[in-house]
Structure 1
Amino acid sequence: MTALPYRCALIVGAGTGISASVARQLAQSGVKVGVAARNVDKLAPLVEATGALAFAADASKPRDVDALFAQVDAQLGEPDIVIYNASLRASGPLAAVDPAAVEQSLAVTAFGAFLVVQQAAKRMEPRGHGAILLTGATAGVKGFAQSAAFAMGKFALRGLAQSAARELGPKGIHVAHFNIDGAVRSARRPDPADAADSTLDPDAIAQTYVSVLAQPRSAWSHEVDLRPWTERF
């Protein structure tokens, strides 16, 4: 795989889909990888396959995020790649959806991203080097009915990415937002038998993440749309 100008990655909101594929491809590129989630037990197969270190953290809580980065600094070294993949849905009609669920959705999808980007910036700015990648969704471009909370969170995430790119890019830090515009393939959501490649392959998504990390700074991508060839947009 292409040599990357980075040595240590932290993926926040790790699971079995996009983040696992990114972790595998980064490890194959020789990058040390840390993966963080509220439930680290589910990460055991990924840790065994990649040699990644797992960290327990709730990204919506400032103390957890502070402690997470301190642990990563001590056990892996300061990360020069930080990827935010966490999100939480709270679906339902506007007149009926639970406000507490909406608050938690925003806390994970948007506020948690801010906390993680802030910690990443503190470490990357003094070195003038690093990459921050944020996993978005269709909901960050258009809001769907009965999905206001997720749209609010993903719109905020996209705004954070744009602001961070404009502030940190001139300081040598590559910030990119990925609009995952379609369903992501998984064991629970395979392609329909009559519609091959109608969902996004997480390994293919990860390939794009790694390709963006390899970009020279004279031609950085700041927003990338990824969708299956059959997806309407």
Structure 2
Amino acid sequence: MKKSSAVIIGVGPEQGLGAALAKFFAGKGLHVFIAGRSEGKLQAVAEKIRQTGGTATPVVTDATVGQEVAQLFNLTQREGFSVDIAVYNVDSNIPSPLLETDVQTFTTLWQQNCLGAFLFGKEAINVMQPQQAGTLFFTGATASLRARPPFTAFAAAKAGLRALAQGMAREFSPQGIHVVHTIIDGVIDGDRAREQFPDYVKTKGNGGLLQLEAIAQTYWAIHQQPLSAWTHELDLRPFKEPF
């Protein structure tokens, strides 16, 4: 019998969603394959997981390069693991008013937020099909549903990600593969927000930010849903967040 694992791409700082998911899944007994472009950050997260008794394999991977994504999933199979959970957590955003958005910026955002999701999702499905089981998460954003300047290009990519997730859910749910699109509708309390816009974080006050552990708990709960009552799309926001 194969050992259980989770594959998470888009793992960056220790106080980030990718790392939080990896730590949580490792705490539930899954071996975690953590992927991203920064070897240093991956090694730091892997070490934290090992210190708490979990197991992790860091794999430097560019989500937009098909060969690298394929190698990531090939590694899980060579090492004898089933892939119980796969998470596409890449979230690249560049604020740019439309008339100032060049083709390269638009293309880069689409590649990182949508094309990479296609490459990752396809490889995950190929591994999960023989198992007839597995949960595939795509992490979305407020922009998945609403395009607002100066983030129109980002929203176009996130809307594409949402459409990809819908199509995959309809195609592969009957095969036992649970495809989930999560809309993160708020600011995550992590290193990224606190470093890039600390003043805004302060204005959110107590309880105004999404907590990493809370998001990870929700992902796990969705993964555990019985076959007769699956959630495809859900939105997560702090209780104080207007919507």
Is TM more than 0.5 here? yes
Letter matched to residue 221 of structure 1: T
CA contact (8 A) 1:8 1:76 kept: no
Residue 8 (1) aligns with residue 5 (2): yes
1:95 to 60, 83, 99: 99
Instruction: Provide, for residues 134-178 of structure 1, a one-character-per-residue CA deviation record: whole Å limited to 9, x for no partner.
Output: 100000010111111210111011111111111111110011111
Corresponding position of 2:237: 227
1:171 to 171, 175, 188: 175
> What is the distance in 2 between the residues matched to 1:90 and 1:99?
13
Q: How does 1:114-153 map to 2 (within 5 A)?
A: 114-153=118-157
Please state how far the C-alpha of 1:179 moved relative to its aligned partner: 0.3
Structure 1 pair 193/64, CA: closer, same or farther in 2 (3 Å)? same
Q: How does 1:180-191 map to 2 (within 5 A)?
A: 180-187=184-191, 189=194
Q: Alignment RMSD, CA only?
A: 1.6
> What is the distance in 1 between the residues matched to 2:239 and 2:80?
38
> What is the distance in 2 between the residues matched to 1:80 and 1:216?
14
CA contact (8 A) 1:32 1:76 kept: no
1:215 to 193, 216, 225: 225
TM-score by length of 2: 0.89
Corresponding position of 1:52: 56
Letter matched to residue 34 of structure 1: F
Letter matched to residue 9 of structure 1: A
Letter matched to residue 146 of structure 2: K
CA contact (8 A) 1:90 1:102 kept: no
Structure 1 pair 98/127, CA: closer, same or farther in 2 (3 Å)? same
CA contact (8 A) 1:197 1:228 kept: yes
Query: Structure 1 stretches (4+) deviating beyond 6 angstroms?
Result: none
Letter matched to residue 77 of structure 1: F
Please state how far the C-alpha of 1:209 moved relative to its aligned partner: 0.4
Please state how far the C-alpha of 1:193 moved relative to its aligned partner: 7.3
Letter matched to residue 163 of structure 2: G
Please state how far the C-alpha of 1:98 moved relative to its aligned partner: 2.3
TM-score by length of 1: 0.93
> What is the distance in 1 between the residues matched to 2:103 and 2:147?
18
Partner of 1:95, secondary structure, is helix
Quick check: which one's helix share is greater? 2
Gaps of 5+ in 1: 1-5
CA contact (8 A) 1:139 1:150 kept: yes
Corresponding position of 1:3: none
Residue 28 (1) aligns with residue 27 (2): yes
Please state how far the C-alpha of 1:72 moved relative to its aligned partner: 2.8
Letter matched to residue 10 of structure 1: V
> What is the distance in 2 between the residues matched to 1:127 and 1:27?
21
Greater mean deviation of Cα atoms: 130-139 or 77-86: 77-86
Please state how far the C-alpha of 1:194 moved relative to its aligned partner: 7.3
Greater mean deviation of Cα atoms: 42-51 or 29-38: 42-51
Please state how far the C-alpha of 1:76 moved relative to its aligned partner: 5.7
CA contact (8 A) 1:80 1:130 kept: yes
2:81 to 77, 82, 105: 77
Corresponding position of 2:211: 201
Structure 1 pair 30/194, CA: closer, same or farther in 2 (3 Å)? closer
Partner of 2:189, secondary structure, is coil
Corresponding position of 1:40: 39
CA contact (8 A) 2:4 2:81 kept: no
CA contact (8 A) 1:34 1:52 kept: yes
